[in-house]
Amino acid sequence: MEIKKIRCYFCRQIKEGAVLSHYNLKVCVDCFPYFFRKRVQETIEKFRMFNQKEIILVALSGGKDSMSILKALKDLNYNIEALHIDTGIGEVSEKARETVQEFCEKESIKLKIVELNQEINLSLKDLSKISKKPICAVCGMLRRYILNREASGKTIVTGHTLNDEVAFILKNMIFWNDELLSRIDPVLHERESLSRKVKPLCLITEQETKLFCETMSIKYINEACPHRSEVYEVFKKVVLEINNNFPGSIIGFYKGYLKRQKSFYLETTKSVNLQQCRSCGYITVSEFCSICRLKEKVLKYKNG
């Protein structure tokens, strides 16, 4: 985002700042963190995400989105802990690990690091081959599994932004994945995801999380994951393009979707038969969960 001389809406002074065309608002670099935290607080309250007393577990990747929500929640005096999953894919992972460690130490935030290959001791590449799924899908599956287990009942905060949410909706509309579309919600309740999962950045753009990190001098990982899903990236680009051309349109689209969703999908669409995995207890649609089935395949593979 371009930083230039503007008259700030909040302090009324002419200072260095940005034009948030998304809100039709000019804000200086000193007032922006206040504005950002206020937006986060409003979102938490609007969707009744959590309160100041409960312990919240923030899934911390080291990217700008999760780093900015962690810092905002800390500043807003929430009771937070962080969990970082080390994906073990070389330099990017090492840098991410260092970044989150350094930040949590400085901010006195309790951080737990779990290594992805602790769950199944095989490279993502091999797991992708065995499961016949893209690396990104296997990685996501494992990360969700670990996150739910480590949360053990605590509410999980993820760094999903408005851009992520809208890209996800568009993607699932283009391919008509009704099951996923029916479940879109800034608050995923316990039953659907094992632990309660909330997205306090769901009304905030990536332009803003970047600006928050910059104005607060928060270091973050800028490198994209080498295995990221190309399909999803296409939709992320489309969303950015739409919002650049029609500022504020994606927030309108997202809010509109949440409002209309109930009439698109009746409660019956939502009620897939969830049960506990017979082996590990993880919530799943079949007898054994995807991770236990993958472990079984790995065992067969290893035994030839």
The residue ranges that bind Zn ion (CB under 5 A) are 8, 10-11, 28, 31, 277, 279-280, 282, 289, 292
User: How far from 162 is each of 114, 166, 170, CA to CA, in Å?
Assistant: 27, 6, 12
* Least distance from Zn ion to the Cβ atom of residue 23, Å: 14
Residue number, 22 or 97, with CB nearest to Zn ion: 22
User: How far from 276 is each of 107, 270, 284, CA to CA, in Å?
Assistant: 38, 18, 6
Residue number, 13 or 269, with CB nearest to Zn ion: 13
* Least distance from Zn ion to the Cβ atom of residue 30, Å: 5
Give bridge partners of residue 276 from the DSSP assignment. Answer: 283
Residue number, 52 or 286, with CB nearest to Zn ion: 286
Nearest to 125 by CA among 97, 91, 90: 90
For 230, other C-beta atoms within 10 Å of its C-beta total 9
* Least distance from Zn ion to the Cβ atom of residue 287, Å: 9
* Tokens coding 254: 């997202």
What stretch of H or E contains 187? strand 187-188
Residue number, 92 or 280, with CB nearest to Zn ion: 280
Residue number, 11 or 76, with CB nearest to Zn ion: 11
Residue number, 89 or 138, with CB nearest to Zn ion: 138
Give the separation between CA 63 and CA 134, rounded to whole angstroms. 22
Q: What is the DSSP string of 194-260?
A: SS-EE-TTTTS-HHHHHHHHHHTT-----PPPTT--HHHHHHHHHHHHHHHHSTTHHHHHHHHHHHH
Give the separation between CA 162 and CA 176, rounded to whole angstroms. 20
Angle formed by the axes of helices 124-131 and 135-151, nearest 10° = 110
Helix (H, G, I), strand (E, B) or coil at 279: coil
* Least distance from Zn ion to the Cβ atom of residue 70, Å: 24
* Least distance from Zn ion to the Cβ atom of residue 304, Å: 24
* Least distance from Zn ion to the Cβ atom of residue 215, Å: 11
Measured at the CA of 75, the angle between CA 112 and CA 52, to 5 degrees, comes to 75
Strand pairing class (79-86; 55-59) = parallel
Residue number, 137 or 277, with CB nearest to Zn ion: 277
User: How far from 259 is each of 167, 249, 253, 263, 265, CA to CA, in Å?
Assistant: 17, 15, 10, 8, 11
* Least distance from Zn ion to the Cβ atom of residue 255, Å: 27
Residue number, 46 or 300, with CB nearest to Zn ion: 300
* Least distance from Zn ion to the Cβ atom of residue 8, Å: 3
